[in-house]
Amino acid sequence: MSRLVVISNRVSVPTSDVGGAQGGLSVALAAALRESNGVWFGWSGEETEHFSGHINFQRNFGVATATIDLEPHDIEEYYNGYANRTLWPLFHYRVDLAEFERGFAGGYERVNARFADTVVPLIEPEDLVWVNDYHLIPLGQKLRERGCRNRIGFFLHIPWPPMPLLLSLPSHRELVQSMFAYDVVGFQTKDSLEAFRDYARVQLGADFGDDDGVVHEGRSIRAIACPIGIDTTEFRASAEGEVARGVFEQMRASANGRTMIIGVDRLDYSKGLQERFLGYERFLAANPDKHGAVFLLQIAPPSRGEVQSYQEIRAQLDALSGRINGEFADAEWVPIRYVNKGHPREQLAGMYRAARIGLVTPLRDGMNLVAKEYVAAQDAKDPGVLILSRFAGAAEQLADALLVNPHSPEELADAIATALAMPLTERIARWRRMLDNIEAEDVIWWRRRFTDALEASQPQAAN
């Protein structure tokens, strides 16, 4: 395998040889970097008064990382601004929340150029360069402008929006054209891939070759769907490990005979938390016999607290959970346990396993790894039921979940009732098919599929 240079906004520094507390993505990338003796480059998360291009090199558990600090206005305009206030909402179909400010766009270009300037000297001629996510879409082009002729791939972790939505971005054309600097571009779903091809055909007049090729102004790239998976084997093992078993017992004891429903999401408007609470409220209103018999544990660690729309969604959820609890609770039962704090990964595994229903109802999601983690954590003899939004990328692979429209409180309420009544044989049959899928298409499969496609592409010819 060629040496891999992974570039993403943030870098996850390994904390052990095997991952443990870290997510599947960082474990899989760390394994690839170890095997190929590669390096992971990105922002440290720290501020500096004056950007100097200084790189902090580290090697932890066999993985080399290289990080840079950014100036406060870089963080404001590039990260909080263009990435999280323009692209994130727009790509999640929330044009109403997207802010289009020239300062943000300028900061995005500047920081992508800074990434390119600092990483270029680290790239050797035969390296495979793998750029990740919406923070760095134009990076490939900036690398080309600096003479980089390596094979460069780009993977988008969030949805690619349909053409009419993308047209509302003032610099949509430049952004999409910059994708043609890559050799391979990867999307989570066929749906996102189709939306990209649609834009390329209608707006750029691109041609389509065999083998996923998209040709624009003489540049031919491969555009593929490459759904990300989880570390299924490890996560299953951790759900049966000591920490998870302890948490499982505690959860069962604190449930006191009640059936638990679980949701685990970063506190983000794309995750459909308000709609989920409203659907659960509808279920409670329609099923008085279930009062006191079920409860919803919603874990929602806050994220992106500097961005106003995140402050607003947090306040709205505080109010909504309070209102529902006030309306339905009695002295011994609270219908929603709403927890704004993160939990170690092994503990989450135990919580998933203790829940009869996994409620994963984003309004839009590139993939959604929680859905796959919930399935992986289940007991083969008594698995729970996954209720999954049709608008999560994961729905393309997990068709055996109860698929719902997250905007409809009735559908959510009906799905909760169906899941609670589902016989064991049906639960097992559905779960088995979902597990087969997440075992076959795990995070190692994902990483290989992408790097194999990149390795198979032709290096750029010299000009």
**Positions marked active-site:** 157, 365
Judging by DSSP bridges, how do beta strands 213-216 and 219-225 pair with one another?
A: antiparallel
Torsional class of 19: left (φ above 0), alpha (ψ -120 to 50), beta (otherwise) = left
With 0-12 CB in 10 A as exposed, 13-18 as middle and 19+ as buried, what is 49?
Answer: exposed
Question: Residue 213 corresponds to which amino acid?
Answer: G
Under 8 Å between Cβ of 306 and 272: no
345 makes contact with ligand GDG (CB under 6 A)? yes
Residue 133 one-letter amino acid: D
User: Contact between 365 and ligand GDG (CB under 6 A)?
Assistant: yes
The reply to whether 442 sits near ligand GDG by the rule CB under 6 A is no
Q: Taking CB under 6 A as the rule, does residue 441 contact ligand GDG?
A: no
Stretch of 192-200, 315-323, 367-375, 433-441 contacting ligand GDG, by CB under 6 A: 367-375
Residue 367 · residue 157 · CB < 8 Å: yes
Q: Out of 183, 281, 373, 411, name the contact with ligand GDG by CB under 6 A.
A: 373
**Using rule CB under 6 A, residue 234 touches ligand GDG:** no
The residue (of 148 and 153) whose beta carbon lies closer to ligand GDG is 153
Q: What's the rounded Cα separation, in Å, for the pair 278 and 274?
A: 6
- Can you tell me whether residue 209 is helix, strand or coil? coil
Q: Which residue from 80, 342, 433, 439 is in contact with ligand GDG, where contact means CB under 6 A?
A: 342
DSSP E strands in 53-139: the ranges are: 56-60, 63-70, 128-132
Determine the interface stretch with ligand GDG among 205-213, 255-263, 315-323, 338-346 (rule: CB under 6 A).
Answer: 338-346
Q: Residues binding ligand GDG: what is the number (CB under 6 A)?
A: 21
Residue 42 near residue 78 (C-beta atoms within 8 A): no
Residue of 90, 119, 294, 348 that binds ligand GDG (CB under 6 A): 348
Nearest distance from residue 71's CB to ligand GDG, in Å? 26
**Closer residue to ligand GDG, CB minimum distance, 299 or 359:** 299
Give the amino acid at 189: T
Q: How many residues does the chain have?
A: 463
| Minimum CB distance to ligand GDG, residue 300 (Å) | 8
Place of tokens 């983000």: 268
| By CB under 6 A, residue 292 contacts ligand GDG | no
The region of 93-101, 135-143, 319-327, 336-344 touching ligand GDG under the rule CB under 6 A is: 336-344
By C-alpha distance, which of 83, 150, 149, 129 is closest to 110?
83
**Exactly one of 228, 261, 402, 438 binds ligand GDG (CB under 6 A); which one?**
228
Among 369, 415, 435, 453, binds ligand GDG (CB under 6 A): 369
**Of the candidate residues 178, 321, 368, 389, the single one contacting ligand GDG (CB under 6 A):** 368
Chain position carrying tokens 């729905």: 395
Residue from 344, 379, 390, 424 in contact with ligand GDG (CB under 6 A):
344
**Does the protein bind ligand GDG through residue 193 (CB under 6 A)?**
no
Q: Is 302 in the site for ligand GDG (CB under 6 A)?
A: no
Beta strands in 90-127, from DSSP E residues, in sequence order: none
Asked if 337 interacts with ligand GDG (CB under 6 A), we say: no
Among residues 341 and 381, whose Cβ is nearest to ligand GDG? 341
- Is there binding between residue 355 and ligand GDG (CB under 6 A)? no
Q: What's the min distance (Å) between Cβ of 439 and ligand GDG?
A: 17
Scan residues 238-267 and list those touching ligand GDG (CB under 6 A).
Answer: 264, 266
Q: Which is nearer to ligand GDG, 221 or 264 (CB)?
A: 264
Contact call for residue 11 and ligand GDG (CB under 6 A): no
375 contacts ligand GDG (rule: CB under 6 A): no
For ligand GDG, the closer CB: 235 or 328: 235
Nearest to 275 by CA among 415, 98, 86, 419: 415
Taking a C-beta distance cutoff of 8 angstroms, is the pair 46, 73 a contact?
A: no
Biggest CA–CA distance in the chain, Å, is 75
Q: CA 121 to CA 55: how far, in whole Å?
A: 11
DSSP secondary structure string for all residues of 283-348: HHHH-GGGTTTEEEEEE--B--TTSHHHHHHHHHHHHHHHHHHHHH-BTTB-SEEEE-S---HHHH
Interaction mask 43-82, ligand GDG, x per CB under 6 A: ----------------------------------------
Query: 259-264 and 357-360: which strand pairing?
Result: parallel
The answer to whether residues 235 and 377 touch, using CB atoms and an 8 Å cutoff, is yes
DSSP per residue, 348-389:
HHHHHHH-SEEEE--SSBS--HHHHHHHHTS-TTS--EEEEE
Does 157 participate in binding ligand GDG (rule CB under 6 A)? yes
Residues at the contact surface with ligand GDG, assessed by CB under 6 A: 23, 25, 157-158, 228, 264, 266, 299, 301, 342-345, 348, 365-370, 373
